Amino acid sequence: MKLFRNTDKLGTAGLFIIAIFSPCCFPLFAFVASVFGLGSFELFGGWTMWVFQAMVLVTVIGLYISYRKHKCLYPLLTAIPSGLLIFYGYHFNDSDHWAYFLYAGMFGLLVATIWNYKRNKLHGECGTCATYEGKEVELKSTITCPNCGHTIEELMPTDACQYFYECENCKSVLKPKQGDCCVFCSYGTMKCPPIQANQSCC
């Protein structure tokens, strides 16, 4: 779902909206609020800091979801310590400079979100994905003939496993290796949809 793909962006945007429109809690952003005539306004009243921390969790969860999909770990590794800085500054730091930990964490999450966005754009949208048993799977697989080495991209079916496959180059009829359920699991770059979805093969 598109909403889940944008969870980190929603969380990070929420952080800065709360900070800008809660100048009593985030004086660094007071000049922005004053432009809107909100110099003493708090967006959520006494709940401001709790909602703010919830947005931190939303951002980190969104980056984790993105990591599970695209396997780019660096934005998540940036976000986790940034989130911990915020929680440390709010709950454990008693000095007069506790707010600086919040600002550092916020900008760390902003960097992680922008980094993640760039990585996702580089990865691109998956035009050959489908949903199988509630999980997103990749249908495109490059199959390599073990006899002649010919390779070709094919789209795997989602309603059945392909047990036989004829190589268009040498006309050999391929069958799965022992223990595999289909030719894509044996000779393709991607396993078949049931295996990708951690289901028993057909």
Q: 136 falls in which pLDDT band (50, 70, 90)? A: confident
Question: What does the domain layout of the chain look like in residue ranges?
Answer: 2-123, 129-196
Residues 153-159 have a mean pLDDT of: 90
Q: Are 133 and 199 spatial neighbours (Cβ–Cβ below 8 Å)? A: yes
Q: Which residues pair with 154 in a beta bridge?
A: 141
Percent of the residues in the chain that have a pLDDT greater than 90, as a whole number: 27
Burial class (CB in 10 A: 0-12, 13-18, 19+), 14: middle
What six digits make up the tokens of 194? Answer: 């049931």
Q: Phi first, then psi: what are they for 17, rounded to 5°?
A: -65, -45
- CA separation for the pair 116, 52 (Å, rounded): 21
pLDDT tens per residue across span 82-135: 999 989 988 888 888 888 898 899 899 899 988 888 877 765 556 678 888 888
Query: Is the confidence at residue 14, as pLDDT, over 90?
Result: no
Q: Phi first, then psi: what are they for 29, rounded to 5°?
A: -100, 10
Whole-number pLDDT of residue 148? 96
CA distances from 202 to 14, 75, 158, 163, 177 (A): 45, 37, 10, 10, 15
- CA separation for the pair 78, 67 (Å, rounded): 12
pLDDT tens per residue across span 20-42: 666 566 666 665 555 555 555 55
